[in-house]
Amino acid sequence: MSDETPKATVLAVDDEPDLAELYRVYLDPAYDVRVATGGEEAVELMDESVDVVLLDRRMPDMSGHEVLSVIREADYDARVAMLTAVEPDIDIVDMPFDDYKTKPVTKEGLLTLVKVLLHRAEFDEQSQEFFALASKKAALEAAGTTGNDEYEELIEQMELVRDRVDDTLDHLSARDAFVEVPGSVP
């Protein structure tokens, strides 16, 4: 059919080829899936059409953190989830990803993760920033890494972003209450 919407594109990056292929098998029916088995290959496969990147953190040729930096510096508009065996620590606070999941991940978990990231992409930048901070908070809490200054700063960042989102919504609601709808009856 000509009116079908195109499938979202997912780039799955893992230096374990069998695991990367398993992600393809899980995701392929619903998404256009690209697989990279290293950081350099991931950078080569990355372009504007990629909607979601599932990124392993620890790879031999180029780390997931380095790939993430390249993606963000190139200003790609993809949602990025770190999907890794590395337990989260304070170093994730400054990493510009959208979600963080530790392996192993189930088929249902992977499909849900991609669906959530695609849904978040529909939101404005401030809301996306809030979701990313909330994901970092949840990852740190799951790892039991909460009693430090970085965690407290993360909480403060979340509050600031939440306040900005709330202010924006309040402003839009107040403004829209007084906008005349074209063609409406006076």
Q: Is the pLDDT of residue 152 over 70?
A: yes
Question: Which of 78, 109, 107, 80 lies closest to 92 in space, CA to CA?
Answer: 80
- pLDDT at position 4 is 62
- The per-residue pLDDT for range 53-80, each reduced to its tens digit, is 999 999 988 999 999 999 999 999 999 9
How much is the average pLDDT of 11-21?
96
Look at residue 35 and give its three-state secondary structure: strand
- The per-residue pLDDT for range 130-144, each reduced to its tens digit, is 888 888 898 899 889
Q: What is the CATH number of domain 9-176?
A: 3.40.50.2300
- Sorted by where each begins, the domain ranges of the chain are 9-176
- The per-residue pLDDT for range 107-125, each reduced to its tens digit, is 999 999 999 899 878 777 7
Q: What is the pTM of this model?
A: 0.74
Peptide linkage before 17 cis (omega within 30 of 0): no
Q: Are 60 and 41 in contact (CB under 8 A)?
A: no
Look at residue 142 and give its three-state secondary structure: helix
How much is the average pLDDT of 7-20?
96
